[in-house]
Amino acid sequence: MSEAPLNVADYAPALQQWVDEVIRGHRWEQYADLHVDVLDAQFRRPGRWVEASMLVLEVLEHLTAQRDCQVLLVIRLATSAVSAAGRPLERDTLEDVLGDIPPSFYLFPQPSEVVRQTVQATIPLPGLSERLQRRVYFQEQHAEGEYAPSLLVLSTTVQASTLG
C-alpha cells in the first residue's frame, strides 16, 4: 500500500500555537507535551510515528530557533520483561520496536535543568544520532517486572553547554 508523503508544513500553524501556549503559560513546568497523533489522523498509525516525529521536530526547531528554547522528542519503545539496553537500534527498524504510546514533544527554555538531568541518566546512541542527525539517547525505566525503554531526541538548536 502506497502512502502519501508527509507534509508537516501543513501543521505549522498548530505547532506555532502549541509553542506560543507553552512559552506564554510556562507550561513546561507542568511538562506539557504534544503527541504526534493529535496533529492528523494519518499520524495515528504507528508505522508513521517515527517519520512524522522527525519531520515535526524539524518544524519545531525552526519555530523555536529564535526563542532560546529546546525541543525534546520522546519515542517510547515496547515494554518487555527483559532490558533493551545494549540492543542495537537502527533508524529503519525503529517502527518494529515502538510501544503503544505515540511519540511526544516537550519544550523547555534554555538552559533546562530538567533536560540536563534527564540526559545525564541516559545512554548516548552515537550511531543512531549520526543517522538521524540529532542527539539521540536511550533511557529505560524498570517497574513491576517490566522495562519501559524510550529514545530521547534533542533538537539541533541545543547548545553544547546546555548538556553539561
Q: pLDDT (tens digit, 9 = 90+) per residue, 74-99?
A: 999 999 888 887 777 776 668 788 89
The whole-number pLDDT of residue 135 equals 93
pLDDT at 3 exceeding the cut of 70? no
- For the entire predicted model, the pTM comes to 0.87
Is residue 151 very low, low, confident or very high in pLDDT (cuts 50, 70, 90)?
very high
The whole-number pLDDT of residue 2 equals 43
Q: How far apart are the first and last CA of the chain?
A: 46
Q: What integer best gives the mean pLDDT of the chain?
A: 86
Q: pLDDT (tens digit, 9 = 90+) per residue, 121-131?
A: 999 999 889 88
